[in-house]
Amino acid sequence: MAKAASEVEELPKAIVRRVVKDKLSRSSDQDEINVHKDALLAFSESARIFIHYLSATANDICRESKRQTINADDVFKALEEIEFPEFIGPLQASLDVFRRKNAGKKAVTAKAKEANKKRKMEEAAAAQNGNEECKENGKEEDNEDEDGSPDKE
């Protein structure tokens, strides 16, 4: 059964407006380009339908490969299948930039995790040493009276 119009998920209007205005301003000599609300709605709905169609096609490709997780290659194959091969180059370039940025973040995160693990181990060792010292001090204290002199048993 089809969803009612109010139940359909929409793309964020501010992002759609920003993308449309950016792309239109690049192809126009005008400083300020105004886009009517109905036009923004049409762009948004077109993009939503395109994303749905692309993801459904990528999902079919993924299932044909007997996998459950869609990967970038599935999306590239889907773009070819739905006859949008001109999107593959720019998308691959964006994906490469994204992966390089994430690789740097992952390296920083891995170093931070390693440092945190080392710090916790050192704290645990220090706590263990502290416990052993307390036990030793406790034994020495057991052998002393309240005035600090050794017990005479």
**Domain spans of the chain, in order of start:** 10-83, 87-142
Least-confidence region, from 13-22, 53-62, 71-80, 136-145: 136-145
Helix (H, G, I), strand (E, B) or coil at 27: coil
Q: Kindly state the average pLDDT of the residues 121-137.
A: 73
User: What is the pTM (predicted TM-score) of this model?
Assistant: 0.59
126 vs 53 pLDDT, higher one? 53
DSSP state of 70: -
Helix (H, G, I), strand (E, B) or coil at 144: strand
CATH number 3.40.50.1470 is the correct assignment for the domain at 10-83: no
